Amino acid sequence: MKHNLDLENFFPYQFSILAQQMSEYIAQIYREQYGLSRFEWRALAAIAQTPNITAKDIILVTRLDKMQVSRAIAKLSESGYLNQQTSQLDKRSSTLSLSEVGTTLYGEIVPKVKEQEALLLSNLSDSERESFLTITKKLSAKIEAP
């Protein structure tokens, strides 16, 4: 029996294509205007959202692997965007927060990526946007469930 897979109607394929397209659409801002990689932007955003976060927590939040996070932290630190302090809970790790320069950078990028997001979603109604977000979260929870 021959099994055919119609990629045009295979949800995981279409969703991965959409995710890549959206990522590239938003990346235009932080990559072209600020020279940040996708991994650096994700780490920067995670640190901004949760000051005094550890690299291990960034891995959990961003779904990046250890090497990607390590390189992003190194580059962000080298650029002066981060403050690192030895963790009080585990002396082997550091907590990370944005420096003043990092906070300024983040403050410049966020309105631009939010505007880009609004343009991306502009052809959806409010209820479609809400439904899409709800469905995305439900699918993610389904995948995470044991």
Q: What is the pLDDT of residues 2-24, one digit of tens each?
A: 788 899 999 999 999 999 999 99
pLDDT value at position 51?
84
Which domains are seen in the chain, by residue range?
32-116 (1.10.10.10)
pLDDT at residue 1 tops 70: no
Distance of alpha carbon 41 from alpha carbon 64, whole angstroms: 12
The residues near 27 (Cβ < 8 Å, ≥ 6 apart) are 38, 41
Query: 106 with 45: CB under 8 angstroms?
Result: yes
